[in-house]
Amino acid sequence: MPRMIDLIRVSALPSNLMHAASRGSLKVPPEEMIEILVHLANKNQIFGQQARMTLAAWDEASSKAAAANPKTSQEVLDYFIAAQNLRPALLPALLENPSVRDGALVDLISEGTKEVVEVMLKSARIKRSARLTEELNRSPHLVERKIEKVEERPAPAETVQEIPAAAEVSEMYASTSVESSEGSEISDEDVNAYLKQHADELAAEGDKPFQAIGGVFDEINTEMHEHEVEPEAKTESEAKPEPEAKPATDAKPQAPVVKRPAVKKPPSEDERRGSVLQKIAGLDIKGRIQLAMKGNKEERSILIRDGTKLVALAVLESPKITDGEVERFASQKNVLEAVLRQIPMKRRFAKLYPVVRNLVFNPRSPLDLSLGLMKHLLVQDLKNLSGNKEVSDTVRKLALKSFKSKTETAKK
């Protein structure tokens, strides 16, 4: 009797069974069910989306077993190792599976995230292969290997103190922002240690200027231009032309007019924000990192959108950052993907339900991150997520599936 996968390949099953197959409901062994789902995901236009969603939520133990088994079909292994389908929990098993093609690993090196490269750096198979090692050396995330070496060999305090920019920025910042210097819980040594830890990435970034995601830099240019060319407003009395001098008469001389000093109005919200933006625009990368870790709430709200990853991530290292700020960052669409990935990596933030919810509802969140956090959502949020058209179809459909599952469980 032919296997179910063979019947599906030749379209020999009725549509109701094909639909059941795409939902993973056929009574076949787990390894064959995975093979069926991958085939549908790759080849079937009608049930492919449902199959991809089912695979994304498939039982982790069965998925790991298939990823580690050299006898697993090549189609399944190619699907699992592809960057767009990769589940982080399966990566170690896939890397050591000899049936996974070197070419697929090369593709993953070029398309993978920093977290993927970190795992590959520790893989025994990668280290044994000259070709894969050479490809890994070309990865933009290669600096992570050097960072690990720095972490294993902490630099002495005297060496850390040799970085001049942090001290210079600290002196400048103390004179411009009183709020951030009060009650600071992070020392210059901690900031310098962060700079030292990421020295190679800093060198790779060079003198990259402040470029915020979302067009803040254009706003800075406008503010600076208006500040330079706009003349001071004159009062109505000052605008009138002075009368010509009259010849002296016997009239009594008038007392001299005493001009009262103009009362300065407090800066508006836009003016104050423009001043902060100008200051940030004048800092180099090290200066912005210093400000991100020791600055105030307004400065953090701008620097979290910095296009330089090291600067944006430094905001999350600030001991002064509040839970409310992190909740807002988790919902922002104008931040780097690395910021959204880093937030749940910190235990303090991962325990905050609003943060988890905002990350899942954020359409900019990576698919694997959203799917991994979705299991923590409450039933009502799952229902709302299933109708959210801003997130991907996969997230929306899996939310609906989870909502129905939890609702049915609650009724029993």
Where would I find the H helices in 11-163? Answer: 15-22, 30-43, 48-56, 60-68, 74-81, 91-96, 102-111, 114-121, 124-128, 130-137, 143-152, 157-160
Q: Virtual CA dihedral for 328, 332, 336, 341, nearest 10 degrees?
A: 60
Whether the predicted pLDDT of 263 surpasses 60: no
Whether the predicted pLDDT of 362 surpasses 90: yes
Of 32-41, 245-254, 336-345, 372-381, least confident by mean pLDDT is: 245-254
| Higher pLDDT pick, 6 / 69 | 69
Report pLDDT digits (tens) over 44-56: 888 888 998 899 8
pLDDT band at 316 (very low <50, low <70, confident <90, very high): very high
Q: How many CB atoms lie within 10 A of CB 342?
A: 19
Average pLDDT in the 371-400 region?
Answer: 90
Report pLDDT digits (tens) over 168-195: 433 433 333 333 333 446 778 888 888 8
9: CB partners within 8 A, 6+ apart: 39
| Higher pLDDT pick, 88 / 260 | 88
Exposure string over 305-335, b if 16+ CB within 10 A, otherwise e? bbbbbbbbbbbbbbebbeeebbbebbbbeeb
Encoded amino acid at 195, one letter:
L
- Amino acid 184: pLDDT: 47
Whether the predicted pLDDT of 214 surpasses 60: yes
| Higher pLDDT pick, 137 / 335 | 335
In eight-state DSSP terms, residue 381 is H
Stated pTM of the model: 0.46
Report pLDDT digits (tens) over 92-150: 999 999 999 998 998 888 887 878 888 888 899 989 988 888 888 877 665 444 444 54
387: CB partners within 8 A, 6+ apart: 396
pLDDT band at 237 (very low <50, low <70, confident <90, very high): very low
- Amino acid 257: pLDDT: 54
Of 60-69, 111-120, 230-239, 329-338, least confident by mean pLDDT is: 230-239
Q: What's the N-to-C CA distance of the chain in angstroms?
A: 39
Q: Are 387 and 360 in contact (CB under 8 A)?
A: no
pLDDT band at 409 (very low <50, low <70, confident <90, very high): confident
Report pLDDT digits (tens) over 33-44: 999 999 999 998
Q: Are 411 and 379 in contact (CB under 8 A)?
A: no
Q: Are 375 and 396 in contact (CB under 8 A)?
A: no
Whether the predicted pLDDT of 6 surpasses 90: no
Average pLDDT in the 312-328 region?
Answer: 92
pLDDT band at 264 (very low <50, low <70, confident <90, very high): low
Whether the predicted pLDDT of 401 surpasses 70: yes
The distance of Cα 150 from the centroid of its chain, to the nearest Å, equals 24
Of 94-103, 154-163, 272-281, least confident by mean pLDDT is: 154-163
Domain positions in the chain: 4-141, 142-227+272-321, 329-412
Burial class (CB in 10 A: 0-12, 13-18, 19+), 94: buried
Q: What is the largest CA-CA distance in the chain?
A: 129
| Higher pLDDT pick, 206 / 395 | 395
What three-state secondary structure class fits 154? Answer: coil
Where would I find the H helices in 113-268? Answer: 114-121, 124-128, 130-137, 143-152, 157-160, 164-176, 178-181, 188-197, 199-205, 216-229, 236-239
pLDDT band at 223 (very low <50, low <70, confident <90, very high): very low
- Opening angle at CA 381, ends 377 and 384, nearest 5: 145
Would you state the structure tokens that stand for residue 27, as one six-digit string? Answer: 């009574």
Give me the sign of the Cα torsion angle 86, 89, 92, 96: negative
Q: What are phi and psi of 306, to 5 degrees?
A: -60, 135
Average pLDDT in the 306-310 region?
Answer: 89
Average pLDDT in the 310-331 region?
Answer: 92
| Higher pLDDT pick, 404 / 236 | 404
- Amino acid 157: pLDDT: 42
Report pLDDT digits (tens) over 75-95: 999 999 998 888 888 999 999
- Amino acid 277: pLDDT: 82
Percent of the chain with pLDDT over 70: 73
Q: What are phi and psi of 154, to 5 degrees?
A: -60, 135
Mean pLDDT of the chain: 77
Average pLDDT in the 285-298 region?
Answer: 89
Helices (H) and strands (E) in the chain, counts: 30, 0
